[in-house]
Amino acid sequence: MEFIVSLQLMRQYAEQQRCAGRRLALVPTMGYLHEGHLQLIRRARQLADVVITSVFVNPTQFLPGEDYERYPRDIDRDRRLAEAAGSDVLFAPLVQEMYPAGYTTRVSVLGVSEPFEGVYRPGHFDGVATVVTKLFVITRPHIALFGQKDWQQTLVVRQLVRDLNFEVDIHVVPTVREPDGLAMSSRNVYLEPEQRQKATALYRALQRARALVLQGERRRSVIVQALLEELARVPELQLDYAAAARAQTLEEPEEFAPGEQVVLLVAARLGGTRLIDNELVDVPQYGAERA
């Protein structure tokens, strides 16, 4: 596997591969790879000739006071794991090259970036959109893969691709979970053993609300109430939001229509760790009729 740090070498490599007629896949990550990332790499391996995994802890998507400094980093481990999963390149640019002195440009995607994470982490998606734009320009991928765990991020990236005319196909890969349901995340290493157990409340809440939708419940307030009740069982969880929205637009109608795809979203803090998770569910065509 190639290990590339320089932006210029990465551009040259990508250009050569394109000229040779190869199909390039990009798996953008912030490193400290876990099974969720490895699934993205394996899927990319199936879809493309050349798999580029980027590892870059992007400072512009962290708010002041967030965990940028302590975000887990282990590039040697990432190299081993990415190679074993089938990556051809590990691209690990330096902050000073991505954002040199005098850098001033920011990419803002309006609309889907505004609710939920946009309220609790204002400016976060500008940082994501900016770095994803830069990674697309540098690595020139035909396809890029993102995890469903960051559902709102996938919508922001799709909008970015449409609006800026990137010829990149976006693939969203299902969330990989621990056996007890906790969504895999590099940030899970922050959790103390006791918190780790409590963190499964997010998954339980999503499953309960999902079951309700599948039983025919379409009223958003009732679906959200189910999320809230389950989360309230763990008083240590400090909730940012629990929501049910149209999966593709994040609109929140009073009642969902039969056949619509709904995304259930939760975000909460447990001690100093912020957890997010989501579940997609299709509203049945013929729900149980309510009295």
Chain positions contacting ligand PAF, by CB under 6 A = 28-30, 58, 61, 128, 131-132, 150, 153
In the bound state with ligand PAF, the residue whose beta carbon lies nearer, of 150 and 217, is 150
In the bound state with ligand PAF, the residue whose beta carbon lies nearer, of 109 and 227, is 109
Please give the backbone phi and psi of residue 252, each rounded to the nearest 5 degrees, phi first: -120, 85
In the bound state with ligand PAF, the residue whose beta carbon lies nearer, of 144 and 231, is 144
In the bound state with ligand PAF, the residue whose beta carbon lies nearer, of 64 and 235, is 64
Alpha-carbon distance of 93 to 28, in angstroms, equals 12
In the bound state with ligand PAF, the residue whose beta carbon lies nearer, of 128 and 184, is 128
**Is 34 known to be catalytic?**
no
Alpha-carbon distance of 90 to 82, in angstroms, equals 7
* Least separation in angstroms between CB 187 and ligand PAF: 10
* Least separation in angstroms between CB 65 and ligand PAF: 18
- Three-state SS string over the chain comes to CEEECCHHHHHHHHHHHHHCCCCEEEEEECCCCCHHHHHHHHHHHHHCCEEEEEECCCHHHCCCCCCCCCCCCCHHHHHHHHHHHCCCEEECCCHHHHCCCCCCCCCCCCCCCCCCHHHHCCCHHHHHHHHHHHHHHHHCCCEEEEEHHHHHHHHHHHHHHHHCCCCCEEEEECCCECCCCCECCHHHHHCCHHHHHHCCHHHHHHHHHHHHHHCCCCEHHHHHHHHHHHHHCCCCEEEEEEEEEECCCCCCCCECCCCCEEEEEEEEEECCEEEEEEEEEECCCCCCCCC
* Least separation in angstroms between CB 169 and ligand PAF: 16
CB distance 268 to 275 below 8 Å = yes
* Least separation in angstroms between CB 121 and ligand PAF: 11
Alpha-carbon distance of 271 to 79, in angstroms, equals 31
* Least separation in angstroms between CB 186 and ligand PAF: 8
In the bound state with ligand PAF, the residue whose beta carbon lies nearer, of 132 and 281, is 132
Residue 9 exposure: Cα atoms within 13 Å on the Cβ side: 13
Considering the candidates 34, 37, 142, 171, report the single residue annotated as catalytic.
37
* Least separation in angstroms between CB 131 and ligand PAF: 5
Active site residues: 37
